[in-house]
Structure 1
Amino acid sequence: MSEFYQGLAEIVEVDTSAINPAFDLHSGEAAWDSLAVVSTMALIDEVFNVMVDGQSLGKCATVADIEALIEAAKKA
């Protein structure tokens, strides 16, 4: 997960140490917008070699939600 966490930290413009499963994507810290969602879709494809739905990803509230979406995509 560390490669994913590093990439996600860059995308949402926070320090890598702030990224953990409980990290709130809708907090004032994170830049979680449509560009971040598209960039995260590309990151997930690069790191995990799976595609996730953009609308579902955009509805994620925490990093744990994104991880659950990735796991579901791996099983599909």
Structure 2
Amino acid sequence: MNAFYEGLAEIFEIDASEVTPALALGEHNWDSLAIVSTIALADDCFGVLLNGQALGNCKTVADIDALVAAQKG
């Protein structure tokens, strides 16, 4: 998850040390551009294609982690 969290930090324009499972997405520019960027990031890091609507419903980084885990099977 390290590279993934670093990528999320770039998307949210915050320090990588701030990205934790508890991070609230709504406080960090969680918009359509961030969602599309996260879809691309998950594909690059894990080779999974996340559903944009499901990703948009995520509230925390832990929710994204769970979505990635479900796609990885």
1:6 and 1:38 mapped to 2: Cα distance?
A: 16
Cα deviation for residue 73 of structure 1 reads: 0.5
Q: Which residue of 2 aligns with 1:26?
A: 26
Write 1 or 2 for the structure with the bigger share of helix. 2
Q: Which residue of 2 aligns with 1:17?
A: 17
1:10-65 Cα distance to aligned partner (Å, 9 max, x none): 001111111010000012xx111100000000000000001110000011000000
The answer to whether structure 1 residue 66 and structure 2 residue 67 are counterparts is no
1:31 and 1:13 mapped to 2: Cα distance?
A: 9
Alignment coverage as a number of residue pairs:
73
Identity %: 56
Name structure 2 gaps, 5 residues minimum. none
**Residue 48 (structure 2) aligned to one of 32, 47, 50:** 50
1:72 and 1:22 mapped to 2: Cα distance?
A: 19
Runs of 4+ in 1 over 3 A off after TM superposition: none
Q: Which amino acid aligns with 2:21?
A: P
TM-score calculated relative to the size of structure 2: 0.97
TM-score calculated relative to the size of structure 1: 0.93
